[in-house]
Amino acid sequence: MEILWWQILLLTIYAGYQILDDLQFNIFGHPVFAGIISGLIMGDITTGLIIGGGMQLTILGVGTFGGASRIDANSGTVLAVAFSVALGMNPQQALATLAVPVASLMIQTDILARFTNTFFAHRIDAKIEKMDYKGIERNFLYGAIPWALSRAIPVFLALV
């Protein structure tokens, strides 16, 4: 089975959204939900639940404090589900060979997103000195863009 253009688009949009949800409400920011949503998009919810549940167990005891980066289990889940369904892989095999390594590599994009956010933080500092409240709000929202792109671009490139 081939991954269709609309599946690539939806998975990319979800990959960008899930990190924003993870930073705010954290409803759909868990690997189990990433597996369910990816499974729905790819047409195999069972595979999505198996891979998402496995990744959820992988990060169950991980707590990151003080701004430390952790593996991006959601992006790993999205890509593992997509390739598992498209290539007909065993979900356990996809979990071990795709989800965990991809999640580990995505730490680098997390660090890059955090680094680029300092640009907006400095702009906010300048807006505070000028008491430009609209500028503060605008730059605060702009800070979400690097977070979303740090997940969406690698997922898109992997799926294309």
Over residues 29-61, the pLDDT tens digits come to: 889 999 999 999 999 999 999 999 999 998 887
pLDDT at 70 over 90: no
pLDDT at 20 over 90: no
Over residues 74-84, the pLDDT tens digits come to: 999 999 999 99
In the prediction, which pLDDT does 26 show? Answer: 77
> DSSP 3-state assignment of 30?
coil
Structure-token pair, residue 87: 């290539």
Structure-token pair, residue 39: 């499974």
pLDDT at 1 over 90: no
Asked if 12 contacts 156 with a C-beta cutoff of 8 angstroms, the reply is yes
Over residues 87-99, the pLDDT tens digits come to: 999 999 999 999 9
In the prediction, which pLDDT does 25 show? Answer: 77
* Tokens 């498209």 belong to residue: 86
Please provide the average confidence, as pLDDT, over all residues in the chain: 92
Give percent above pLDDT 90 in the chain.
76
Over residues 100-140, the pLDDT tens digits come to: 999 999 999 989 998 998 999 999 999 999 999 999 999 99
Burial class of residue 89 (count of CB atoms within 10 Å of its CB; 0-12, 13-18, 19+)? middle
In the prediction, which pLDDT does 98 show? Answer: 95
In the prediction, which pLDDT does 124 show? Answer: 94
**If you write DSSP's letter for every residue of 76-138 in order, what string do you get?**
HHHHHHHHHHHHT--HHHHIIIIIHHHHHHTHHHHHHHHHHHHHHHHHHHHHHHHT-HHHHHH
Please state, as a whole number, how many other Cβ atoms lie within 10 Å of the Cβ of residue 117.
17
